[in-house]
Structure 1
Amino acid sequence: MTANTTATDIARVPTDLDVIIVGAGLSGIAAAHFLRERCAGTRFAMLEARQSLGGTWDLFRYPGVRSDSDMFTLGFSFRPWASPQAIADGGEILDYLKDTARAEGLDSLIRYGHKVREARWDSTIARWTLDIERTHADSRQDTQTLTCHFLFMCSGYYAYDAGHAPAWPDMDTFTGAIVHPQHWPQDLDYRDKRVVIVGSGATAVTLLPSMAATAAHVTMLQRSPSYILSMPSRDGVAERLRAWLPAGMAHHVVRAKNVLIALGFYNAARRWPNAIRRVLIRRAARQAQGHVDVERDLTPRYQPWDQRLCLAPGGDIFKALRGGRAAIVTDEIASFTTNGLALKSGKTLDADIVVTATGLRVQLMGGARLLVDGKPVVLSDSVAYKGMMYSDVPNLASVFGYTNASWTLKAELIAQYVCRLINHMNAQGADTCVPRLRDGERGEMPAIGLTSGYIQRAAGALPKQGGRKPWVFYQNYLRDLRLMRWGSVDDGAMHFERRATRLVGPDATTASQASNTTSAVASATR
């Protein structure tokens, strides 16, 4: 088997598996690592819709793209982050993911160009059947069917084909370039150009200082401000610990330190929002040094952590503002003009390039349609179980990371818990695990409580959460650690059953041949 399994290699690999992981980004790599480590003999593969691994970090190529949390927690627990940069750029993160997949031998399990269009659960065989659209390296397309016992969705939470792109009047009259960061043109030349970035979130805050280094001028046009928190791009404590301790031990100590600091800050912000609000605004104002109107441009309308905070490594956005090559304008677009934007205040902004950093389109399950015994699954009618599974949906888990901490922390907990579920089913002779609400229990509120635009736009498609565990979608790593690493998998809400009434495939011989083929492939890739 080749190092990178593409659509043209599919005839040589099994089509019935124990586990299928959908997505070969950060979550998928973590899932594959723990399956191999903790579920010996499990036959699994990773399906990736694109032609390369990395997910978010391969998709986004806009100037300055970087992590929005520290790399000691965004990086894997099992592979220490070796760079001195605590906040790393996208290229470094992508290299780290590729190196990890290669070092772990997981790259050989990825089937590229495989997009899941539909997944159907059949209780009589206790299997998911996946309809796959395959895109070959030469852009030819065809379809294929795969089956698996457990479906692990690690495809993220947003649509890769396009971001959120509002329409404004007279956009077609603008003679410059209009660009969305999700699909950044690699040949876009913004040197000595006037740039307007529409938005105030993490992408806009990242783009402004990066583009201001060579553009004639960059303006961040925002309807309302976000909280911007400056933090060092390097972790001094981590550097000292690395000098004193073995690399693995230093990594775990720094990781624990950063988890506790982030959780403590979040809890303080929720408990004393007005005090933390004043601190954040005062810090930002001190760094801006009079180059913005603090009340208008740096004072959000919401409390801290109602939306994610925007990080500014080394205060880079404030340096750009102080340098005179960048500015923040708080206003709204009335229309586009030939040479820029007309604002609702009556002012105008001249631009050669307009960057619409207007957010993501939330899309769960990679856009795949789910059916359970012929009935379509409506996720908005379901209740999230431990933030990873859904009421009445068997043998399926998905990764949705923390909104107040690194994505990887929750991704790893979910992967470890899936391994526990699989091992428990094997030990008990069960083929099905399905979370079910007790009589009288129901979903009471949205699973994701952020007021961010991308979450609010998707509110009608997101699952609910209940009022008590295991139906609460905690945003707390320590509580989840206790619940998911040490709590019982047989908790009364999770039901284990043996449903299958017949073999998968036409006869037992076929099943045996498939097993033998899988063993040969697994041996070749170890």
Structure 2
Amino acid sequence: MSASSASPAAEHLDVLVIGAGISGIGAGRWLKTELPSKTFAILEARAASGGTWDLFRYPGIRSDSDLHTFGYAFKPWRDEEAIATGPRILSYLRETVAENGLDAHIRHHHKVLSVSWSSDRARWTVHVERADTGERTTLTCSWLFCAGGYYRYDQGFTPHFEGRERFRGTIVHPQHWPEDLDHAGKRVVVIGSGATAVTLLPALAETAAHVTMLQRTPSYIMPVSKKDVIANALKKYLGQERGYVLTRRKNIARQRFFWTFCRRWPKTARRIIRRVNARHLPDGYPVDEHFNPPYDPWDQRLCAVPDGDLFKALRAGKASVVTDRIAAFTENGIRLESGRELEADVVVTATGLNVQAFGGVRITVDGEEIRPSDTVAYKGVMLSGVPNLVFSIGYTNSSWTLKVGLLCEHFCRLLAHMDASGHDVCRPEPADPAMPTRPFLDFGAGYIRRGVDQLPRQGDRMPWLTSMDYHSDVKLLRADSLLDPELRFTRAGAARAATATATATASR
């Protein structure tokens, strides 16, 4: 169905937010607070809000960022532990929903299949399937806010393993952890070395007979304190609100300093991290073999372990790390290329995510399908040639939510400006159609490399660069003027011709 043939009885809203995770909840709160006259709904394909924090149920699930920066700027994190478990984060998110009256705006079981823009009508037609009943409905909106992140919720990544079908034990992916899986007293092998694997190892080791983390390539791993002593003192003596604000500033500065230090002096950073690892490991432990990545710090995301729990499990003999490649599965475990066999009752494939741009939603503009990889990201929040659409992708080198807050604030400023100026269409358009581009995320993680061709591109200059620096984005998204020669504001009557030109440019 095209946008022009949509039923005139279709419900129309000013903004449709796709996804009720941490980004979508933030967007809803900002809209309700800053633009209370706007009508909006948050469409969530699943039966509950919370996004990642409702989806992942594997043992030990937690944040790898401190909650004073991973939390929202408008809602203080009151827990004593700054590195929090998944259930605590989910509770925090649902408190945010309740406190801001967002329950009435969230529509569960609403999976968006496709969206189509009509320049004549200056609106999106959104085709939705009810995940619980199979019923299909149509909505229209003036703006789309895509808050679904960049990975598939229904499918994790598992590479092909030779002989997998021969294994007589249990194989599970963390993204689909069975509630009835009992690992107590069993031999467990966790395949992977990223954030999920280093979270699982100490959690499983509490009751398993033994846990082995089998990694092809080591990751950078650093112990961090669960509790932020300074943050708790500030909140005690200055109150929750002021203490939270100061802690947030402190931790933003600390994140920025550490990342900058690692990128500017990678050899020194590597030595420091290895020295810290050696102090937390048993004497004589082969640090060079298992904790010495072949890449520089922050080429991939650094893994944080609260209170060094992974190192404690290794010291206690409850867990071990093996660096090798898998030759094949056997009936009783995994045979490695070195010839060694790891016996296992349970194998956990902590092998990563599958990237999926915009939740797999099909996007068309005036009948022309838009491939995100053919577009260039404007300020990291909009797509070249695509009107009235913003998307939310947070930072990969610090707390995700820091970027989300800024882009929500920017989005509300943008809508207020358009109301004041009488415009109803906003579309980014590069002044130079031949501008050189590169991947949207300059990040070495395997899941990004596998799926980078599904994401938008970035240009070679502002505002077409993807910023991963909070302070730069404060200027770009909060302080700088909304007016930009490469951001076109029009009215509905003049929109079709301009959009057709921009779409042709973006699809070059």
Name the TM-score class by shorter chain: over 0.9
Q: Which residue does 1:300 correspond to in 2?
A: 293
Structure 1 residue runs of 4 or more that deviate by more than 4 Å after TM superposition: none
Residue of 335, 353, 360 corresponding to 1:342: 335
- In 1, distance between residues paired with 2:159 and 2:142? 41
For the Cα contact (< 8 Å) 2:10–2:140, is it kept in 1? no
Q: How many percent identity over aligned positions?
A: 49
| 1:441/1:260 CA distance change after superposition, 3 Å | farther
- In 2, distance between residues paired with 1:192 and 1:252? 45
For the Cα contact (< 8 Å) 1:431–1:500, is it kept in 2? no
Q: Which residue does 1:508 correspond to in 2?
A: none
Q: Which residue does 2:505 correspond to in 1?
A: none
Q: Which residue does 1:58 correspond to in 2?
A: 54
Q: Does 1:45 align with 2:79?
A: no
Instruction: Report deviation, 1:290.
Output: 3.4
- In 2, distance between residues paired with 1:466 and 1:439? 10
Question: What secondary structure does 1:475 align onto?
Answer: coil
For the Cα contact (< 8 Å) 1:292–1:328, is it kept in 2? no
Q: Provide the aligned C-alpha RMSD in A.
A: 1.3
Residue of 76, 81, 85 corresponding to 1:85: 81
Q: Does 1:259 align with 2:252?
A: yes
Question: What secondary structure does 2:300 align onto?
Answer: coil
Instruction: Report deviation, 1:501.
Output: 7.9
Residue of 224, 229, 235 corresponding to 1:231: 224
How many matched pairs?
487
Question: What secondary structure does 1:419 align onto?
Answer: helix
For the Cα contact (< 8 Å) 1:21–1:31, is it kept in 2? yes
Q: Which residue does 1:198 correspond to in 2?
A: 191
- In 1, distance between residues paired with 2:192 and 2:10? 46
- C-alpha distance after superposition, 1:396-419 (max 9, x if no partner): 000000001111100111111110
Q: Which residue does 1:321 correspond to in 2?
A: 314
Q: Which residue does 2:419 correspond to in 1?
A: 426
- In 2, distance between residues paired with 1:439 and 1:462? 21
- In 2, distance between residues paired with 1:372 and 1:198? 42
Residue of 24, 39, 42 corresponding to 2:20: 24
Q: Does 1:473 align with 2:466?
A: yes
- C-alpha distance after superposition, 1:352-374 (max 9, x if no partner): 00000000001111110111111
| 1:351/1:261 CA distance change after superposition, 3 Å | same
For the Cα contact (< 8 Å) 2:381–2:391, is it kept in 1? yes
Q: Which amino acid aligns with 1:56?
A: T
Residue of 120, 128, 142 corresponding to 2:124: 128
- In 1, distance between residues paired with 2:119 and 2:270? 52
| 1:14/1:131 CA distance change after superposition, 3 Å | closer
Instruction: Report deviation, 1:237.
Output: 0.3
Q: Which residue does 1:446 correspond to in 2?
A: 439
Residue of 370, 384, 387 corresponding to 1:391: 384
Residue of 404, 416, 425 corresponding to 1:411: 404
More displaced 10-residue stretch of structure 1: 280-289 or 91-100: 280-289
Q: Which residue does 1:435 correspond to in 2?
A: 428
- C-alpha distance after superposition, 1:240-285 (max 9, x if no partner): 1011102111111000100000011111111111111110111112
Q: Which amino acid aligns with 1:281?
A: R
For the Cα contact (< 8 Å) 2:10–2:138, is it kept in 1? no
Q: Which residue does 2:92 correspond to in 1?
A: 96
Q: Does 1:351 align with 2:347?
A: no
Instruction: Report deviation, 1:500.
Output: 4.2
- In 2, distance between residues paired with 1:14 and 1:275? 60
Q: Which residue does 1:3 correspond to in 2?
A: none
Q: Which residue does 1:524 correspond to in 2?
A: none
Q: Which residue does 2:241 correspond to in 1?
A: 248
- In 1, distance between residues paired with 2:444 and 2:284? 28
Question: What secondary structure does 1:482 align onto?
Answer: helix
Instruction: Report deviation, 1:118.
Output: 0.3
Structure 2: any 5+ residue segments left out of the alignment? 1-8, 496-508
Instruction: Report deviation, 1:291.
Output: 6.5
For the Cα contact (< 8 Å) 2:20–2:51, is it kept in 1? yes
- C-alpha distance after superposition, 1:74-129 (max 9, x if no partner): 11111100100100000000011111100110111100000111000110001010
Q: Which amino acid aligns with 1:274?
A: K
Instruction: Report deviation, 1:440.
Output: 5.0
TM-score, normalization by structure 1: 0.91
Question: What secondary structure does 1:328 align onto?
Answer: strand
Q: Which amino acid aligns with 2:167?
A: F
- In 2, distance between residues paired with 1:53 and 1:443? 39
For the Cα contact (< 8 Å) 1:194–1:215, is it kept in 2? yes
Question: What secondary structure does 1:159 align onto?
Answer: strand
Residue of 361, 368, 377 corresponding to 2:370: 377
For the Cα contact (< 8 Å) 1:380–1:463, is it kept in 2? yes
| 1:278/1:407 CA distance change after superposition, 3 Å | same
- In 1, distance between residues paired with 2:203 and 2:89? 18
| 1:320/1:330 CA distance change after superposition, 3 Å | same
- In 2, distance between residues paired with 1:144 and 1:293? 59
Q: Which amino acid aligns with 2:73?
A: S
Instruction: Report deviation, 1:293.
Output: 1.4
Q: Which amino acid aligns with 2:337?
A: K
- In 2, distance between residues paired with 1:369 and 1:188? 36
Q: Which residue does 2:395 correspond to in 1?
A: 402
Q: Which residue does 1:278 correspond to in 2?
A: 271
Q: Which amino acid aligns with 1:400?
A: I
Instruction: Report deviation, 1:441.
Output: 5.0
For the Cα contact (< 8 Å) 1:443–1:464, is it kept in 2? no
Q: Which residue does 1:71 correspond to in 2?
A: 67
More displaced 10-residue stretch of structure 1: 345-354 or 459-468: 459-468
